[in-house]
Amino acid sequence: MAPNAAGSADTFPKLLIRNAKLFGDRPAMRHKDLGIWQTWTWAQVLAEVRCYAVGLHRLGLKRGETIAIVGSNRPKLYWSVMTAQMLGAIPVPVYADAVADELAYVLAHAEVRFAAVEDQEQIDKIQSVAARLPKLERMVYDEKRGLRDYDHADLTAIEDVIKDGRDALARDPAIGAWLDAEIAATKGSDPSIILYTSGTTGTSKGVILTSEGSIRAATDTVIFDKLTEKDEALAYLPLAWVGDHYLNYAQGLVAGFCTACPESAETAMQDLCEIGPSFYFAPPRTLEQLLTRVTIRMEDAGRLKRALFKYFIGVARRYGETILNGKPTPLKGRLLYALGRLLVYEPLKNVLGLSRVRVAYTAGEAIGPDLFAFYRSLGLNLKQLYGQTEAFLYVTAQPDGEIYSDTVGPACPNVDIRIAENGEVQFKSPGMFVGYFKEAAKTAETMSADGYVKTGDAGFFDEKTGHLKIIDRAKDVGRLNDGTLFPPKYIENKLKFYPNIREAVAYGDKHDFVGVMLNIDLTAVGNWAERNNVVYGSYQELAGHPLVYDMIEKHVAEVNRSLAGEKVMAGAQIKRFLILHKELDPDDGELTRTQKVRRGFIAERYATLIKALYDGSDEADISTEVTFEDGRKGVLSARVKIRDMKTEPVPPALGKAA
């Protein structure tokens, strides 16, 4: 039985109780630990969380207080979220890979007294900034390894907290009745979680969400995609990201499906193959990495396999999309595609762990149309959605049978979207946020006078399909000096389709031409270097190699040919590019924790290189501060070469954008 609505359950703990009754013996969570998959049913999860809630209350957590959740996707950290909500406290997830300074900011701003953390690494980071966290009193942790000799005056293992709660419940039945009353006392309109934004445009803000709004939004999309208790998802996305809280936590509780946690971030792709989820989400960067893996493996394959792969991928590009959408297809195309499924597409999806996927989404940033088409052509039901933390993710989503690479779909059920006079997308939605934590002025700035949320994104509705098209961040869209439209993300996505290019940052607003800074993909280019006898000792050395520049130049030239054929973008071809001497890194503030480019910060940090792109220099010297994994700082110096590009002639019929 698939619930099509949350019914009277207006909080997540109430949904957990409902699921334990409806799906008690069905799997609710899995976790791969020491190579073995462990499984908990809905009834078992409810029992564990109840014990955890009693134990945490006995340690002092009270209604209305905040508790940080720091770590990767592990059952006990998901239970920490649920436990806090049972007690009427507010969980505040933090990115597991956040450096100590970022942790300190969020924990101090959120005024947390408690923190539930994964392991020794997170404890060490928090303890290193303890002086900045006067309100933090206690940490509970999942992984005991390495903590034997620590002072446990303010440290407690989560399993010990659960055991203490279990013993207390066994001793005194009145405690169980008290907990039931606490669960019943929590209203759906109470804050259920604070999710901090990625900080693309500045300091992260704490987005306050309610459980009733979150459940309404999740119910709408569970119905939209026909998710049931028989589905399964892999939870590998950051706990602190709204996507994980929506797709795995909220939808999992509403639909009753099973959420599987990988053994580690490093094994997530292998664990994906073992789980074979039916519901899958991947940001564009993950899809780019999967394609890079495929490309590398095919380059190392035999001549016959390479030829078969190349031929049938061509067949997929011609016929896959029409067949997947149920549109008329020539008999020859259907037969060739069927043979391609047997020889290439299904084996490839199996290797990637996507064989059982019924519904797949991508979002987080714009995806390149070529990358999107590649997966669609294999028969993967990959769709796009558009959302924000302030919306509790979903604003739009593509319905089955209405999939277009250049749109993000129509408004989701019960979502109202409008385009402001300046082209900005604005919305109202069931799950929209209450406000920013301790940021009343910024909340008011984000809301319109009549209650719409201002997204900061520029977009429009496509006349043919009625779907929303997102151009770029409104503030990032500019024009060249000759009036040509310049949406940097559009150009960057075309470049990132190539497995050799990991990241791209395009500049051109108020300039005569487009210049681009690139990061190479070390895995892909390293594999190429090995096969071509190119010797290198570091990323910096490989990035500056003349043969690597030659290879990247060919990719840029292909992008220019593609741009030349587009009416709006023909005048925005790339005239100069350089390959950065280091990878853009969240630890250095160049990317957000969700891997989005912090364009303004990069413009300041690499101002010397941007100046050289536009003053005609062939090379430029730069020294950049870097952050090592242990938190130490260092300086990386390099002489970066700049290469000129020939642009394609623009047909007179195309001209400039109006």
Query: Residue 225: in which H helix or E strand, if any?
Result: none
Coil, strand or helix: which one is 233? strand
- Break the chain down into helix, strand, coil percent, rounded to 5: 40, 20, 35
Coil, strand or helix: which one is 557? helix
323 φ, ψ (degrees, to nearest 5): -70, -45
> Are 542 and 627 in contact, with CB atoms under 8 Å apart?
no
- Tell me what pLDDT residue 653 has: 52
In this model, does residue 144 exceed pLDDT 60?
yes
- Tell me what pLDDT residue 651 has: 66
Q: Which residues of 588-606 are buried (b: 16+ CB within 10 A; e: fewer)?
A: bbbbbbbbbbbbebbeebb
In this model, does residue 2 exceed pLDDT 50?
no
- Tell me what pLDDT residue 494 has: 86
> Are 66 and 94 in contact, with CB atoms under 8 Å apart?
no
- Tell me what pLDDT residue 493 has: 84
In this model, does residue 507 exceed pLDDT 90?
yes
Higher pLDDT, 291 or 418: 418
Query: Residue 398: in which H helix or E strand, if any?
Result: none
How far CA 428 is from CA of 10, 73, 194, in Å, comes to 20, 30, 19
516 φ, ψ (degrees, to nearest 5): -135, 140
Share of the chain above pLDDT 70, in %: 97
In this model, does residue 203 exceed pLDDT 80?
no
Q: Left, alpha or beta for 192 (phi > 0: left; psi -120 to 50: alpha)?
A: alpha
CA distance 70 to 239: 8
Coil, strand or helix: which one is 648? coil
What structural domains does the chain harbor?
Answer: 12-278 (3.40.50.12780), 284-355+357-423+457-473 (no CATH), 478-644 (3.30.300.30)
What confidence tens digit (pLDDT) does each residue in 562-620 have?
888 877 788 999 999 999 999 999 888 898 887 788 888 999 999 999 999 999 999 99
Higher pLDDT, 96 or 326: 96
Name the residue among 89, 93, 104 with its Cα closest to residue 59. 89
- Beta strands across the sheet bearing 66-70: 90-94, 66-70, 114-117, 138-141, 155-157
CA distance 654 to 20: 61
CA distance 114 to 155: 10
95: confidence class by pLDDT, cuts 50, 70, 90: very high
Axis-axis angle for helices 488-496, 369-377 (nearest 10): 50
In this model, does residue 369 exceed pLDDT 80?
no
